[in-house]
Structure 1
Amino acid sequence: MKVAVVGAGAIGAYVGAALDRAGADVHLIARGPHLAAMRQHGVQVLSPRGDFTAHVHATDRPSDVGPVDYVFLGLKANSYAACGPLVEPLVKESTALVAAQNGIPWWYFHGHGGPHDGRTVESVDPGGSVSAVLPPGRAVGCVVYAATELAAPGVVRHLEGTRFSIGEPDRSVSRRCLDFSDAMRAGGLKCPVEAELREDIWIKLLGNISFNPISALTRATMREMCLHRSTREVIETMMAETLAVARSLGCRPGISIERRLAGAERVGDHRTSTLQDLEKGKPLELDVLLAAVVELAGVTGVPVPTLRTVAAISDLLARGTAAPAAAA
């Protein structure tokens, strides 16, 4: 099995290192000091489950890699429309794109069935710009439950969780999913193949849609948001509205708001990825987390006043961070 990881940051490098342990032919696409460190020292993984180093081929030139069986996308979703030059040299007729993204994916209605089958979610795929680069027929969905961070260039600190749920948009249990799952499990990760992956998407989204924008607006950690009564009430309302949208689309996420909040509180003084991006001056990945659900609420006629309010305020914040990033 030949795998390329496009966007080999903390999660991507962690997955690449695990697949290398399983015997896969792995190639990491990265840049800058992180790339230089991986070339010199390999990917160093620091984990409560045991430290290890994977000496994996790393490059900033996908053309040096050539066609692969799987492209694992470790990029933020707001980079997808521009990733064509990175992905195109890696693709052959049978190449699958394993998209490890938060929020509503661009392929959400591909193979969905029902009245919305084939619909484009403009918030995440404006004008079909992402689908043109990443054809939905190649997509394998992936919901990441692992937490990692870059402790230093080339050094991945694994914090918790090893689960990467995957699934086909059309709900089939495909050979390509089963083979990728086998390789991930051989590398020490959990990788269940879920026919109803959209339920996993909504379960994770319950936290991302609420904690991520609120943390960026308040600079608060997970624990602080859970313990502040008024903020917790806002988050509960956002989660309830999100569940209503999911149900309007035929999804029944198997988790309660109380359980989701309890899990978040146990995480402690963790800063969400959106808050970390804000602090680093990076673009905020809010369209797939928040704007997309507001868009879907409009499609299905579900009232989401709190989501709309937070989306409006956080969009202004996101625009403020995007301008300096574009100038840089």
Structure 2
Amino acid sequence: MRVAVVGAGAIGAYVGAALHRAGADVHLLARGPHLAAMQQHGVRTLSPRGDWTARVPATDQPKEIGPVDHVFLGLKANSYAACGPLVEPLLDRHTSVIAAQNGIPWWYFHRHGGPHDGTRVESVDPDGSVSAVLAPERAIGCVVYAATELEGPGVVRHLEGTRFSIGEPDRTISRRCQEFSEAMQQGGLKCPVEPDLRNDIWIKLLGNISFNPISALTRATMRQMCLHDSTRGVIELMMTETLQVAAALGCRPDISIERRLAGAERVGDHRTSTLQDLEKGKPLELDVLLAAVIELAAITGVPVPTLRTVDAISDLLAQGAAA
């Protein structure tokens, strides 16, 4: 099995190293000092489960890799529309694209069934620009429950969690999903193939839609947001509205708001990816989190006043960060 990791940052390099340990033919696509460090020293993983190093081939030239069986996409969702030059040399007729993204994916309504089947979500696929590069037919969904950070070039700090749930948009248990899942498990990670990954998408989104923008606005960690009563109240409202949108689309995630908050509090003083991006001067990945759900709320007629308020404020922050 050949795998190319496009965007081998904290999550991508961690997955690539695990697959390499399982014996897969893995290639990492990265750039800058991080790429140079991985080429020279491999991927060094620091984890409560034990530290280890994997000598994974790494490059910034996708043509050196060529066609693969699976592309694992570790890029931010706001980079997808422009990733064609990185992905196209890796594609064969049957190549899958496994996108480890937060929020609502561009393929959400592909083979969804029902009245919204085939609907394009403008917030995540503006004018079809993402679908033109990443055909929905290639997509395997992926919901990441692992927390990692780049501690330095070539060094991944694994904080918690090893689960990467995957699934087909049409809810089938495909051979390509099973193949990737088996390799991930052999590499020491959890990778269940879910019959309906959309439920997992909403479970993960409950936290991302609330904690990520609030953390960027307040500079607070997960624990701090959970322990501040007023902020916790806003987060509960955001989660409630999000669950109402999910229900309107036929999804009822098997998790309570209290349980989701308790899990976030256990993470401790972790800074969300959005806060980390803000601190590094990177674009904020909020369209697939907030704007997409507000768009889905409009499609389904669900009122989401708290989400709209936080979106308005965080969008101003995002514009300032991008300036």
TM-score, structure 2 as length reference: 0.99
Structure 2 counterpart of 1:204, which letter? K
Deviates more, 1:220-229 or 1:24-33: 220-229
Query: Secondary structure at 1:105's aligned position in 2?
Result: coil
What is the CA deviation profile of residues 18-50 of structure 1, one whole-angstrom value per residue up to 9, with x for unaligned ones? Answer: 000111000000000000000000111111112
Structure 1 match to 2:295: 295
Deviations 1:246-295 (A, max 9, x none): 00000010000000111111111111111111111110000001000000
Unaligned 5+ segments in structure 1 are 324-328
Q: Letter of the aligned partner of 1:202 in structure 2?
A: W
Q: Does residue 320 of structure 1 match 2:320? A: yes
Alignment RMSD: 0.6
CA distance in structure 2 between the partners assigned to 1:164 and 1:267 by the alignment: 17
Partner Cα separation in structure 2 for residue 251 and residue 288 of structure 1: 18
Shift of 1:157: 1.1
Distance 1:276 1:152 in 2: 14
Q: 1:173 is paired with a residue of what secondary structure? A: coil
- In the alignment, is residue 182 of structure 1 matched against residue 219 of structure 2? no
Deviation for aligned residue 1:229: 1.0
Amino acid at match of 1:35: L
Aligned to 2:104: 104
Q: Distance in 1 between matches of 2:191 and 2:313?
A: 36
SS in 1 for 2:243: helix
> Does 2:78 align with 1:68?
no
CA–CA separation in structure 2 for the residues paired with 1:313 and 1:50: 41
The offset of 1:219, in angstroms, is: 1.1
Report the equivalent of 1:83. Answer: 83
TM-score when scaled to structure 1? Answer: 0.98
SS in 2 for 1:27: strand
Q: Could you tell me which amino acid in structure 2 is paired with residue 174 of structure 1?
A: S
Residue 302 of structure 1: how far off its partner (Å) = 0.2
- The 4+ residue runs of structure 1 with deviation greater than 3 A are none
Amino acid at match of 2:312: A
Deviation at 1:224, TM superposition (A): 1.2
Match of 2:68, SS state, is coil
| Unmatched runs of 5 consecutive residues or more in structure 2 | none
Shift of 1:52: 1.2
How is 1:53-202 mapped onto 2 (pairs within 5 angstroms)?
A: 53-202=53-202
Counterpart-to-counterpart distance in 2, 1:313 and 1:183:
42
Structure 2 distance, partners of 1:74, 1:269, is: 24
- State whether structure 2 residue 40 is matched by structure 1 residue 7: no
Aligned to 2:39: 39
Distance 1:280 1:70 in 2: 30
Equivalent-residue separation in structure 2 for 1:219 and 1:195 (angstroms): 37
Counterpart position of 1:256: 256
Q: Structure 1 counterpart of 2:37, which letter?
A: A
> What residue is the counterpart of 1:24 in the other structure?
24
Q: Percent identity?
A: 83
Q: State the 1:322 CA deviation.
A: 1.2
Matches of 1:201 and 1:271 in 2, distance apart?
A: 21
Deviation at 1:117, TM superposition (A): 0.2
User: What is the CA-CA distance between 1:212 and the residue it aligns to?
Assistant: 0.5
CA shift for structure 1 position 127? 0.4
Query: What is the aligned partner in structure 2 of residue 211 from structure 1?
Result: 211
Amino acid at match of 1:150: L
Question: How many residues get paired?
Answer: 323
Q: What are the superposed Cα offsets for residues 121-177 of structure 1, whole Å, 9 maximum, x if unpaired?
A: 000000000000000000000000011111110111111110000000000000000
SS at match of 1:56: coil
CA distance in 2, matches of 1:302, 1:167: 27
Aligned residue identity for 2:210:
S
Q: Deviations over 1:51-96 (max 9, x none)?
A: 1111111000000000000000000000000000000000000000
